[in-house]
């Protein structure tokens, strides 16, 4: 009898712990109704390389669509590696079970859920070039993404960068937003390992008089490593490249108005710390440049797992135009009451606040 009471009591404690965890869950919301937000989606390649995973990416973009008004989301940024292989037609089932055409269609379908609801800007990563990983500088991006697919992208587009393979492409582009009545923002997206021609173009644009009063957000694929050091070199075959340190030296540090840099690329199996980087440095004008790397692609089972457990980040820009609150959230865990206690990452490098000058 005593044994039965002990088992009952243990089950009761487990039930109470679960109930408490669930009752503590609050769906994402702005801490100030006058704030605005952006959403950062990490490298989605592992969601689309396996057909079993692509529903998670669709869940993520669907969550953004359903909540963009309550979160006052002005735009969505994706850190690149949209696919695992850019031009592979015969996957073995180990590295992927969808070929490149299927992968590009899957990522396109996921982001199409945001069309005409929220603007989205997608970086291209090393896996979006060449056959499987930047063996040469050619991408199928333009076959699947163009500004007219989302009227809000087309309305925000201001500049197109140097041609890629003889044709205009938004792999290098600039978009303009006005999230508040007194704040104008440019989002500059640059190709994987930008060519020197692209860096020169970007510098000319951000230094031009018409954008003097804008804050600039730079989105590119490779920038910081897991130690928050800027990446100097990578072992890819393509030449004429500028990675993190070169971009900082040639473009960011001399600029007066590049204020935020977002990137992805890095990762370690089921180790979130191996996916993250963060640092702040002063530019030539004495302004702080916040640099953030956020990825999750090897969470949820490593390189062959579920693609990243549905993790994304939303950044809340407070009405003071200085304070930014960062939260890391998973719509995948949030969708079920049994896992809602896991829907936020609360560690100091996952939920934090930083300041803009």
Cα–Cα distance for residue pair 309/56, rounded to 1 Å: 8
User: Do the beta carbons of residue 308 and residue 47 sit within 8 Å?
Assistant: yes
How many CA within 13 A on the CB side of residue 61? Answer: 26
Cα–Cα distance for residue pair 191/80, rounded to 1 Å: 9
Give pLDDT, residue 135.
96
Query: 20 pLDDT band (50/70/90 cuts)?
Result: very low
Cα–Cα distance for residue pair 71/112, rounded to 1 Å: 19
Query: 165 pLDDT band (50/70/90 cuts)?
Result: confident
Torsions phi, psi for 96 (to 5 deg): -175, 155
Residue (of 162, 171, 166, 228) closest to 196 by Cα position: 162
Give pLDDT, residue 7.
44
High-pLDDT (> 90) share of the chain, %: 89
pLDDT digits (tens, 9 = 90+) for 240-285: 999 999 999 999 999 999 999 999 999 999 999 999 999 999 999 9
Q: Where are the alpha helices (DSSP H) in 274-349?
A: 331-334
Torsions phi, psi for 163 (to 5 deg): -60, 150
Give pLDDT, residue 357.
87
Phi-psi region of 161 (alpha: psi -120 to 50; beta: other; left: phi over 0): beta
Average pLDDT over residues 86-90: 95
Average pLDDT over residues 297-323: 97
Residue 33, C-beta contacts closer than 8 angstroms, at least 6 positions apart: none
Residues comprising the chain, all counted = 357
Residue 18, C-beta contacts closer than 8 angstroms, at least 6 positions apart: 338, 341
How many C-beta neighbours within 10 Å does residue 123 have?
27
User: Do the beta carbons of residue 102 and residue 82 sit within 8 Å?
Assistant: no
Residue 51, C-beta contacts closer than 8 angstroms, at least 6 positions apart: 97, 98, 102, 106
DSSP code, position 294: E
Query: 23 pLDDT band (50/70/90 cuts)?
Result: low
Cα three-residue angle 103-106-111, rounded to 5 degrees: 130
| CATH superfamily to which 2-355 belongs | Metallo-dependent phosphatases (3.60.21.10)
Give pLDDT, residue 182.
87
Residue whose tokens read 């697919």: 149
């Amino acid at each position: 009898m005593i044994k039965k009471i002990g088992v009952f009591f243990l089950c009761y404690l487990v039930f109470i712990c679960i109930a408490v965890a669930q009752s503590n869950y609050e769906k994402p919301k702005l801490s100030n109704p006058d704030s605005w937000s952006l959403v950062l989606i990490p490298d989605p390649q592992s969601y689309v390389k396996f057909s079993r995973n692509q529903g998670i990416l669709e869940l993520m973009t669907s969550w953004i669509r359903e909540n963009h008004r309550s979160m006052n989301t002005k735009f969505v940024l994706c850190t690149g590696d949209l696919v695992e292989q850019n031009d592979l037609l015969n996957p073995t089932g180990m590295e992927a079970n969808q070929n490149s055409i299927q992968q590009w269609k899957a990522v396109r379908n996921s982001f199409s859920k945001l069309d005409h609801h929220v603007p989205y800007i997608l970086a291209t990563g090393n896996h979006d070039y060449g056959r499987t990983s930047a063996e040469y500088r050619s991408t199928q991006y333009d076959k699947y993404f163009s500004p007219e697919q989302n009227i809000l992208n087309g309305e925000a587009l201001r500049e197109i960068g140097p041609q890629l393979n003889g044709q205009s492409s938004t792999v290098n582009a600039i978009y303009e937003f006005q999230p508040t009545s007194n704040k104008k923002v440019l989002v500059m997206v640059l190709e994987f390992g930008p060519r020197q021609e692209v860096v020169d173009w970007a510098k000319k644009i951000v230094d031009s008089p018409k954008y003097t009063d804008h804050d600039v957000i730079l989105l590119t694929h490779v920038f910081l490593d897991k130690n928050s050091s800027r990446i100097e070199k990578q072992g890819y075959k393509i030449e004429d490249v500028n990675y993190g340190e070169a971009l900082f030296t040639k473009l960011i540090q001399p600029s007066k108005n590049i204020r935020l840099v977002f990137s992805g690329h890095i990762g370690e199996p089921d180790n979130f710390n191996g996916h993250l980087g963060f640092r702040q440095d002063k530019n030539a004008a004495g302004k702080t440049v916040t640099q953030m790397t956020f990825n999750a692609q090897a969470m949820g089972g490593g390189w062959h797992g579920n693609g990243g457990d549905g993790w994304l980040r939303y950044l809340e820009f407070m009405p003071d135009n200085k304070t930014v609150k960062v939260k890391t959230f998973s719509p995948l865990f949030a969708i079920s009451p049994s896992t809602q206690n896991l829907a936020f990452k609360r560690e100091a490098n996952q939920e934090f606040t930083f300041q803009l000058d």
